[in-house]
Structure 1
């Protein structure tokens, strides 16, 4: 009961934060007056409902205030030059420009730089950027601490300045992760042809920089682009597969083994903010299972999301990766039971299919809202492709690992890697070639809310039906042993 009440309070906090990022009103005085009123009423009446309402008001107003302050944070100046180290480089071999991100010295802010491919700088280099630097006042940029933009500036490499320990740690981390990603990518590319190598690296490490514009468009048309963006779905699949492999081991070994696997995957994919958030979300859900009968997955998910939003309020409404991770896990938790009824036997393959379908139920409407199109073949594409992705990830890693021992032996293992990648590519190419593969629609915010209300109704009706039939339908979630 206490866990459910906590879940409700946290929903209030998240709702308040969401509202605060859209509307800016100075409610400080009203907030203090309202809380004082509710607290006095609670003390006077000593009724639990009044105490709960007081707490709910505190959570809602606190969230609103946080959302307002984060969304309306103003950048005070637009400097003519910025110095710092290159923390990340985004480059597509088919584009004529590159983007890289410079972290300001001793500041938690970044400058996004667009320049030509002829610039030869790498992650970890200290540079001085001069040009027409403009402020990035939109919340969707500020959520990643990107406060400035500049295009085709003057770039000059400078000596490493004296920095604190934390700054040095960030530089070493960026260099290490970048080198690790390049090392893995180069080894897989030495074994597999394109676009199979790009796909294998994409599902393992995230990203589609080696994809042609045409192939990227086909992935988008079939609603399958998300396999190249590491999210909560990928992390939960990793945990699900590890649970199944360790199913004969004691519960604690399964749980800590899954957590270890999740964070190894996070390190390999570069420890980006979205990957770290998805890994934390999965880890909290895994650890919470140690509570046994007292485990409430919904409350654990709300607590995890609230902690992340508390640390960065803007991700709630402006970070698609966070939203998809949250909805994917929520879909697995609450729609897994319904999807699971279609399968009489459970194994790794069926568990992956169940997790895939249940995650897609909540994420597909949001994807349609953001991109303004509905892929008619999306459900078929996800059903056909997603069960193969965990195995493609596994063989991609095995291909890399064997290459370290013997490049010749890696060709043999790489054949199975190629078969899986070929299956995914051919499936996408065929489905995208259908004349009715996608439909461009006006899928606004109202339509999104209506769809989610209908999905909630379906869930409620299914629970009532199960209760009438006296079925023992427990909430299924992907980490079930």
Structure 2
């Protein structure tokens, strides 16, 4: 067995330990017992000089390490809470807005941080509007999240270190900082970037382009969101390694038709992913998605996806080490990881099977990439959304080839908008045409009887 395969087995054992703990809260005594068993089995195998059993012993130890790491992180709660604290009791405290505000159609949500309670999710009215860095005084009921309708809301919030929520408390602005840190400046840049689209494009094209480029999908009309869901194309307006992976491969294939050197194409796409990450706010989920997408672009540069398998699994294991909640409670991470594995493990087979199809504008390659990602992510999409799109492959094949050009001209228009809206209005014209085409395709396919079940 090669060293790379041994390393892969160890990584998968660690991930398996995290997954096991997410299903069953294993007692500490059992954890210690597994560790001791693995250690003794390893010592015995070393004396016997049995290579396979030595590897198995290390796998048992790394599995036990994954279980222990999950226990350490997932059993943690804020330590300053009084044992007499009752969920739902009124609390008065001061905290700061530490994440990008989440503004919906009829309410707003803010993540606040307080020294005593940690991070708190506050749901309130749209106005007055608050911003990242604002210091607020909160007076209202403070509750521990409760699960509902089979949804584990507690752990869903815990993955972001949020253990308390407050609904429509009384908020008072105490201080608005005169200067922002780097993250604050990124959020301001993102807001201005989105604002440019509102000035040069009508709805829903403006919201669609903003969702494509920076994942700002909150303002998408309900009918368009429903059409995306029915046609299995909602991934293109959600920042995850799933859409970044597919779109990066599409752009890689598109640029290859311009007869540019492979090295130059690689750096163009990597630079694009970096700029995209910064403009999207460089949040944790965006960074994770960018890492997955970047690794796949690296594989595409080499022309052999299988060479980066260990790197993808290692990146996933490293993310899980810092946040074990992601494996079970973060759909974006699940889609990112599975889509990446699909492009690595299945795409080469589909490319061989489809060898007789034309590859004009990378049609065959894009079809293989789309099917590979969809097959691997199908269980998660069905489990999370309870819906299967029967026309997802057709919709993706029709839409995805237009995405790279749409993003390119949309991105250029957004950047030029900081200088001149007139220039932005000219540059956005190709994106306007392609956005109209994509919206038309999605809406037409979504009304087909039995499009999704």
Q: Which residue of 2 aligns with 1:228?
A: 237
Among 404, 425, 430, the alignment partner of 1:411 is: 425
- Give the whole-Å Cα distance in 2 for the aligned partners of 1:223 and 1:347: 22
- Give the whole-Å Cα distance in 2 for the aligned partners of 1:326 and 1:294: 14
1:354 CA drift (Å): 3.2
1:283 CA drift (Å): 3.5
- Give the whole-Å Cα distance in 1 for the aligned partners of 2:439 and 2:365: 23
* Range with greater deviation from structure 2 (171-180 or 345-354): 345-354
TM-score normalised by structure 2 residue count = 0.86
* Range with greater deviation from structure 2 (310-319 or 378-387): 378-387
The answer to whether the 8 Å contact 2:358/2:364 transfers is: no
3-state SS in 2 of match to 1:100: strand
3-state SS in 1 of match to 2:202: coil
Gaps of 5+ in 2: 147-153
3-state SS in 1 of match to 2:175: coil
Q: After superposition, where does 1:251-400 map in structure 2 within 5 Å?
A: 253-284=264-295, 296-341=307-352, 342=354, 343-345=357-359, 347-348=361-362, 350-400=364-414
Among 173, 185, 199, the alignment partner of 2:194 is: 185
Kindly indicate whether residue 100 of structure 2 is the aligned counterpart of residue 88 of structure 1: yes
Alpha-carbon RMSD: 2.8
Kindly indicate whether residue 141 of structure 2 is the aligned counterpart of residue 141 of structure 1: no
Q: Which residue of 1 aligns with 2:150?
A: none
- Give the whole-Å Cα distance in 2 for the aligned partners of 1:256 and 1:72: 42
TM-score normalised by structure 1 residue count = 0.81
- Give the whole-Å Cα distance in 1 for the aligned partners of 2:201 and 2:70: 47
- Give the whole-Å Cα distance in 2 for the aligned partners of 1:193 and 1:283: 32
Q: Which residue of 2 aligns with 1:30?
A: 33
- Give the whole-Å Cα distance in 1 for the aligned partners of 2:332 and 2:402: 22
Distance of aligned partners of 1:401 and 1:40 in 2 relative to their CA distance in 1, 3 Å threshold: closer
The number of residue pairs the alignment matches comes to: 428
- Give the whole-Å Cα distance in 1 for the aligned partners of 2:451 and 2:253: 36
1:254 CA drift (Å): 4.8
- Give the whole-Å Cα distance in 2 for the aligned partners of 1:50 and 1:75: 42
1:67 CA drift (Å): 2.2
Distance of aligned partners of 1:196 and 1:363 in 2 relative to their CA distance in 1, 3 Å threshold: same
- Give the whole-Å Cα distance in 1 for the aligned partners of 2:412 and 2:279: 13
* Range with greater deviation from structure 2 (130-139 or 260-269): 130-139
Q: Which residue of 2 aligns with 1:213?
A: 222
1:139 CA drift (Å): 1.5
Among 150, 153, 156, the alignment partner of 2:172 is: 156
Kindly indicate whether residue 60 of structure 2 is the aligned counterpart of residue 51 of structure 1: no
- Give the whole-Å Cα distance in 2 for the aligned partners of 1:38 and 1:142: 36
3-state SS in 2 of match to 1:118: coil
3-state SS in 1 of match to 2:102: strand
- Give the whole-Å Cα distance in 2 for the aligned partners of 1:39 and 1:213: 57
